[in-house]
Chains A and B, each alone.
Chain A
Amino acid sequence: MNRHTLFGGAYALAFFAFLFGPLVIMATTAFNSSRFPRVAPWECFTTGWFGELFGNARLMEGLMNSVIIGVGVVALAVPIGLAGALALSELPAKLRSMLYTVLILPILIPGVVLGISTIVLWGQITRGTGAGFLYNGYFLTIVGQITFVSAYAMLVFIARLQRFDATQTEAALDLGATPGQAFRKILLPFMAPAIGSAAFITLLASFENYNTTVFTVLSESTFTTALASKVRHGTDPSLSALAVIIITLTLVGALTNEAYQRRKEAEAGGRASRSPLYANPVTRALTHPGIVFAILVTVIGGITYAGSQYDSSVCEAAVLQEKLDRQEELRAEQRERIEAQEAEQGVTVPKPDSAFGGAFGGVGTPAAPAAPKPESPSAFGGAFGGITAPEVDE
């Protein structure tokens, strides 16, 4: 058994290394002054990418749109999901599995299909009724996202409803409550935590969604679509900086939630007095979710302030100078080589080795533009009027 435990532990470690490795590396690149997100070679420690991130007007505008859309989606998807879960709980088995299949389908249908079908339908409605105001990115995105986001909310509610003791409603009725009172005073309070988590999940799903949104948002952009177009058209470490912010927020949220859950569990189980952590007044106060949250925020705030005061310009200037020197060297070398080749064949083949591509990585000098990738021999490239193959790093 011991051998197996060891194997299991090792596997779990490897698994979580795969889960977190890419995130950690991405986060690290946020602090490297190199213009291309990478860990090695390490140039200078910098916090400048965060500033660059907040200076990105398109992203910030997308953020605003995402918030507006997210609020709309939560406000509609959560009640719809709740209704779905309630409806399923009342249907006889056969009809229930039918409705379940229909309602769960939007999760499985490719997001692009949902997006397309949404704009096609509402486009037709707009043409048919002349109600042009319906045909705007906000409305279409909300409608398109609700289709599947409601199913996420529904799954949360189904899980919670399964733990609802139906005799509670009966007891309330028996004690003289009207069905409406029983619903408001017994079922809804029971569902409250699920409403919270459903709201959170739907907000996240709405915020994150790309496949549907990229169609429905029309000429507007959300945070995620702005992000995607930024990633597709060349990258810089300000995206890593964004990842650092999101990861930090996630960790703070997770830790606070964990503290909250544990405390609630300990109190509900009547173990609060028994656990030494909760018995001692100091540790008890320290493990209060509010305090945990406050401590985390303080620490992060401190780090942020320290980071914003950090100046990496001296180091960067040194690196830049070094690079320029090296570039000059390389260029000289290349010139020689080309001259030699031209002398031999009379043909120009400007194909820098990709190992150098990174080093060139657009240091910001007009002298070093990103070397264009040779057009890949994609036969359909022409047929579709220039499919933009996602650009590669270099």
Chain B
Amino acid sequence: MKQLKLAYTSLLAKHGMGAALFVAISVTLWVVVFITLPQLSMLDYSFRFNLPADQIGTEADHYTLEQYHSFFFNSDGSFNALDITILIRTLIAALIVTMIDVLICYPIAYILAHGAKGVAARLMVIGLIIPYWINEILRAFAFRVLFGSTGVVNTWGMQMGLWDAPVDFIRADVALYCGLAYAYILLMVFPMYNAIEALDHTQVEAARDMGAPLWRVHWRVVLPMAKPGIVSGATMVFMLTAGALAAPQILGGPSSLWFTQLIYQWFNESSNWPRGSAYAVVLLVTCISFVLLMMRVFKVSVGEIGK
């Protein structure tokens, strides 16, 4: 509190009353009204019964663990393997997508930071950003066009004789994985690029000069430098993939459901808000714990994210 006051005084001295008040009010509003209160409210809701409007506030309206209980157990007391499997599968899928992105983005980030020069580098940056400007829905749609049974991949594959009948890439989740990996490439490349760019290129040359093979140069010199960027990018990609809704809705096979789709159904189709809130809390807590665990493992702080 004292430090906050000090910071405010410093703002006041530097930028004046108007600016200081503007900053204080805006940030408070953001942190309290936009970030904290909604989460608390959702948490509160997840501990309540799904009551009709006229019963809210009556005696029936008290706290309960029912919503969470029903995530773990079916009404007959057996494990709710279905929902739990969906959660775990969502997390694993997000992890796979994240790893795909790390693998395909690392070389590009390195080339961008240390290989490409001048016009080529600028073109690459523009090339990376442009697809990101296209609407998320349309990007997913592009993959549906690509992987549909009469899509380009199937047409070419059959023309080249790789397979005879159209392969259902959508049912096999290939389209979904590709679409998700595609969607968040930019969020992986730029943190990596920022981290690798800070590396003095002469270090790479020095290592090469001392006779290290290329893979070793990357393993010992470039990767340690890129680590914070990789973790930052991986965190964002993982969280966004696990929390994705549009791509699974558009590209997901009929038999595979994303956890966010479950939440969506509780809210929009079953109108059971408390249950939906509980599921949202489950998703949030699981994802954040997972990310924090990974950060602990890789020894990186949250402050690195978004850099």
Contacts and interface: CB of A to CB of B under 8 A. Distances in A.
A147 B33 CA distance: 9
B146 A384 contact: no
A393 B143 CA distance: 12
B156 to A, nearest CB: 8
A180 interface: yes
A40 B152 contact: yes
Interface stretch (A204-212, A269-277, A310-318, A340-348): A204-212
A155 B232 CA distance: 14
A263 B300 CA distance: 40
B245 A210 contact: yes
The range of chain B's interface size is 35 or more
B148 A11 contact: no
Interface string B99-115: 00000100110010001
A204 B15 CA distance: 30
Contacts of B251: 390
Contacts of B171: 392
A384 B107 contact: no
Contact of B254 (A38, A86, A105, A390): A390
B280 A121 contact: no
B246 A211 contact: yes
A90 B255 contact: no
Contact of A118 (B7, B38, B141, B287): B38
A133 interface: no
Interface in A68-119: 79-80, 82-84, 86-87, 90-92, 95, 97, 99-114, 116-118
**Which of B7, B261, B288 has most A Cβ within 10 Å?**
B7
A379 B11 CA distance: 59
Nearest to B150: A358
Contacts of A147: 30, 34-35, 38
Interface residues of A, number: 117
A18 interface: yes
A203 to B, nearest CB: 11
Given A26-B142, A182-B15, A215-B267, A87 B23 contact: yes
A173 to B, nearest CB: 8
A136 interface: no
Tell me if A's interface is mostly helix, strand, loop or mixed.
Answer: helix
A15 interface: yes
Interface stretch (B120-128, B195-203, B219-227): B120-128
Interface string B56-90: 10000000000000000000000000100000000
B41 A23 contact: no
Interface in B1-55: 3-4, 6-8, 10-19, 22-27, 29-31, 34-35, 37-39, 41-42, 45
A26 B134 CA distance: 12
A146 B245 contact: no
A204 B133 CA distance: 7
Contacts of B8: 90
Contact of B14 (A12, A169, A227, A384): A169
Nearest to A183: B15
Interface in B258-307: 260-265, 267-270, 273, 276-277, 280, 283-284, 287-288, 291, 301-303, 305-306
Contacts of B19: 86, 179-180, 183
A227 B138 contact: yes
B145 interface: yes
Nearest to A178: B16
Interface of A: 4-5, 8, 11-12, 15-16, 18-23, 25-26, 29, 36-40, 79-80, 82-84, 86-87, 90-92, 95, 97, 99-114, 116-118, 120-121, 123-124, 127, 143, 146-147, 150-151, 155, 169, 173, 178-183, 187, 204, 207-208, 210-211, 214-215, 224, 227-228, 231-232, 235, 239-240, 242-243, 246-247, 250-251, 253-254, 258, 353-355, 357-358, 361, 373, 376-380, 383-385, 387, 389-390, 392-394
Given A97-B301, A389-B257, 4 more contacts: A95-B3, A112-B245, A121-B42, A258-B122
Interface of B: 3-4, 6-8, 10-19, 22-27, 29-31, 34-35, 37-39, 41-42, 45, 56, 82, 104, 107-108, 111, 115-116, 122, 124, 126-131, 133-146, 148-152, 155, 165-166, 168, 170-171, 182, 185, 214, 235-236, 239-240, 242-246, 248-255, 257, 260-265, 267-270, 273, 276-277, 280, 283-284, 287-288, 291, 301-303, 305-306
18 contacts: A29-B145, A36-B148, A36-B150, A90-B8, A100-B302, A107-B236, A107-B306, A108-B240, A108-B288, A112-B283, A120-B273, A121-B42, A147-B35, A183-B16, A208-B136, A227-B135, A254-B126, A389-B253
